[in-house]
Structure 1
């Protein structure tokens, strides 16, 4: 399975000049856990819920006084839409991130999140269980495995 098959294409972005009040408002309005920060339309960073919490705790200032640029995680870890999900999950683990903006030739295409991967994994397991039930293999104790 490829990244483009699971990625979300409904992206929430904000310009690098935005303040954290604007970014937090966008997250709440759109019900998302992150906002991609752009510089002249080019993705340059990401502000996640965790980043917003950290800013709220550490800055001791109103969100309107903190820039998105100061709060964003960067450099931005990205992935190509033609990359496999396995490679994407390895990248997330290696980079310690839960979200990967999907970029093709510097153009933002979507975002792949750990939630997207978990949802797809669950659907795959459901499909396998349905196939097993159709074959009468719903109870693993009844499976006859050949010894080779």
Structure 2
């Protein structure tokens, strides 16, 4: 399964000049756990709920006084829309992120989140089973032996 088949395309973005209060308001209004930060229209960072909590605690100031750049994670860890979901999950684990903006070149296509992957778990399992059956791997031990 490819990233483009699971990604969310309804994105929430904000310019780098945004305050944390404005970013939090947009996230809450859209009921999302992250917002992509742009500079001159190009994605340059991401603010997640965890980033907001961290900067809220560390800054000890009202969100209206905290620039979003102080909270955003950057550089962005991204994935291509044509990458496999397995590649995406490996990247998430390796880079310790739960959200991957989906980009090709500098164009933002969507975002893939752990929630997207969990929601599609049964589809992913079914696809894996079909692949195994196509290889003639009907017994679970066959799969283990094929990896040796």
Mark yes or no: TM-score above 0.5.
yes
* TM-score (structure 2 length as normaliser): 0.83
Flag the structure with larger Rg: 1
Deviations along 1:15-70, one digit per CA (max 9) or x if unpaired, are 00000000000010000000000000100000000000111111100001000111
1:45 maps to which residue? 45
Paired with 1:101 and 1:94, the residues of 2 have a C-alpha distance of: 15
Gaps of 5+ in 1: 129-144
Other structure's SS at 1:10 match = coil
- TM-score norm. by structure 1 comes to 0.83
Matched residues in 1 for 2:104 and 2:34: separation? 20
Q: Which residue of 2 aligns with 1:56?
A: 56
Which ranges of structure 2 fall in alignment gaps of 5 or more residues? Answer: 128-138, 143-148
Q: Which contiguous aligned blocks of 4+ residues in structure 1 show a shift greater than 3 angstroms?
A: 122-125
Q: Deviations over 1:116-137 (max 9, x none)?
A: 0111013455x69xxxxxxxxx
For the residues of structure 2 that align with 1:81 and 1:124, how far apart are their CA atoms? 17
Secondary structure of 1:92's partner?
Answer: helix
Q: Deviations over 1:88-117 (max 9, x none)?
A: 000000000000000012100000001101
Count how many residue pairs are aligned between Structure 1 and Structure 2.
Answer: 132
Q: Supply the RMSD in Å over aligned alpha carbons.
A: 2.1
Aligned residue for 2:76, secondary structure, equals: coil
